[in-house]
Structure formats: C-alpha cells, structure tokens
Amino acid sequence: MKWISKMWKKTGITIMALLLLAAMMPAGAVQAASKTGQYQKKYKAQVSFPVWVQPAYGVAVNRIKNGKIRFQISKAGVNGSPIYNSNIIKAKLKNNKASFQWKDTWGNSGTGKLKLFNGYVKLKIKQTYTAQWNRSTLDTGGKFVKMKKISSSKELFDKWE
C-alpha cells in the first residue's frame, strides 16, 4: 500500500507542475505569422561549366500597412551574374493581392502582380520595355512563380528608389 501512496504523491507533484507552467504562459490570442520578410525560389542551372550559386528569384516584403505594401524584387543568374534588382515598389494591397509597375537596375521596366500567403508569395512579372544592354529579364513568362519564405528580415536588396 505504501507504493500506492508514493504514486499518488508523484502524480500530484506532476499535476501541480503542469498547472504552474500553464499559469505562467501568456494569455490572449496567438498572433498570426507576419507576411513581411524575404522569399526565394531557386532554379537548377543546366550549363556546361561549374555552378557555385544557383539562379534564383527573390522578393523582400519590407512593410504592409494601411492597405499598402512596400517590397522589392531581385533575380540572380547562374553564379550570381547578372543580378537584377527592381526599384522599391509601393502598391495598394487588396485581399493580399497587389498590382504594380517596376523598373530594374539595368533599365528594363514592366508590370506585375504579387499575391501574399502565409509562408510564401506568388509573383508574376511582365517586361514591357527592354533596355539596350539587357542580359536577362525579371519576366516570369506569363506564369506565377511561387517563392517560400526564407527569412523574417525586412531588409531590402538595394535601397535605390
């Protein structure tokens, strides 16, 4: 009978510890994950030379406030060459969707659509003007590119306006 008494004592201590932990947890609703941050989609390069850095699209969502979004788009080619950064884009956000115009560091420009989700974004870009010395494009070929969130950093790629 002594072992039953010890068992109840241990059970009581365990229950008290759990109640104490529950009381120490913050009350209130859990906040949803922020949609600001950096998103990326890497591609496999099919080239006949060594590849150290895979080509990738990136989006840095810097701010979402009062129905407006501020973000920047980036694309790096094989081994990081060439690198294209868009201007800092400010657009209206409705139902987690934004339509925008952009210009990149090489002088190309166009239009686009961005859709925000928890953990990823979808981006569709159309290039309407091609600069003379252009080597690549931000254009997504009429399709949405799905990018995973890789960081909560709000830092933009290049701070030119």
| 109, two tokens | 């420009």
pLDDT at position 27 is: 40
Burial 35-57 (b: 16+ CB within 10 A, else e): bbbbbbbeeeeeeeeeeeeebbb
pLDDT band for 139, please (50, 70, 90 cuts): confident
Q: Which of 21-35, 83-97, 104-118 comes out lowest in average pLDDT?
A: 21-35
Question: Do you know the residue count of the chain?
Answer: 161
Q: What is the DSSP letter of 94?
A: B
Q: Are 58 and 147 within 8 A, CB to CB?
A: yes
pLDDT of 11 strictly over 60: no
The DSSP bridge partners found for residue 73 are 59
Q: Using a pLDDT cut of 70, give the percent of the chain over it.
A: 77
- Of 130, 161, 154, 160, which is closest to residue 59 (Cα–Cα)? 154
Higher pLDDT, 51 or 106: 106
44-93: pLDDT as tens digits: 877 888 877 888 889 999 999 999 999 999 988 887 778 889 999 999 99
Residues 6+ apart with CB under 8 A from 144: 113, 115, 122, 123, 124
pLDDT band for 31, please (50, 70, 90 cuts): very low
Mean pLDDT over each residue of the chain, to the nearest integer: 80
Please indicate, yes or no, whether the overall pTM of this predicted structure exceeds 0.85. Answer: no
CA distance 108 to 12: 70
Residue that the structure tokens 């190309």 belong to: 108
CA distance 85 to 75: 7
pLDDT at position 116 is: 95
